[in-house]
Amino acid sequence: MKIVEAIVKPFKLDEVKEALTKAGVQGMTVEEVKGFGRQKGHTELYRGAEYSVDFLPKVKIQILVPDDRAEKVVDVITRSAKTGKIGDGKIFVAPVEEVIRIRTGEKGEEAI
């Protein structure tokens, strides 16, 4: 099993969610996060004091998938989250040791 974590632009969330559910993904978790990548922000003024806008609001989506589905899910996310502009985000894929469904106690791929 793999956990796929995708950090995407907030306004892309609905599109990504629709694409994932169409692709057969049955659940996901979403967090509001802030982040930045290689590109530095620009400077602004607040009451005359200069600051740079580094951390930008993003959304992090977590999905658990069986190993054989990981590549497909990554592809779906990439296509639906992409704008072609700076700050589109990143996707991380990591192995997962165990999954448990709390209600029934099911484990492993049954619990996805």
Work out how close the CB of 43 gets to another protein at its nearest, in angstroms, rounded to a whole number: 5
Tokens standing for residue 44: 């602004």
Q: Which two tokens stand for residue 67?
A: 């190993």
CB of 2 or CB of 58, closer to another protein: 58
Structure tokens at 13: 């969330």
- Residue 52 found at the interface with another protein (CB under 8 A): yes
CA of residue 111 relative to chain centroid, distance? 21
Give the amino acid at 16: V
Task: Work out whether 34 is an interface residue with another protein (CB under 8 A).
Answer: yes
CB of 87 to another protein, least distance (A): 15
Using CB under 8 A as the binding rule, whether residue 37 contacts another protein is answered as no
21 contacts another protein (rule: CB under 8 A): no
Count the alpha carbons within 13 Å of 39 in the hemisphere toward its beta carbon: 9
Residues lying near another protein in the complex (CB under 8 A)? 34, 43-55
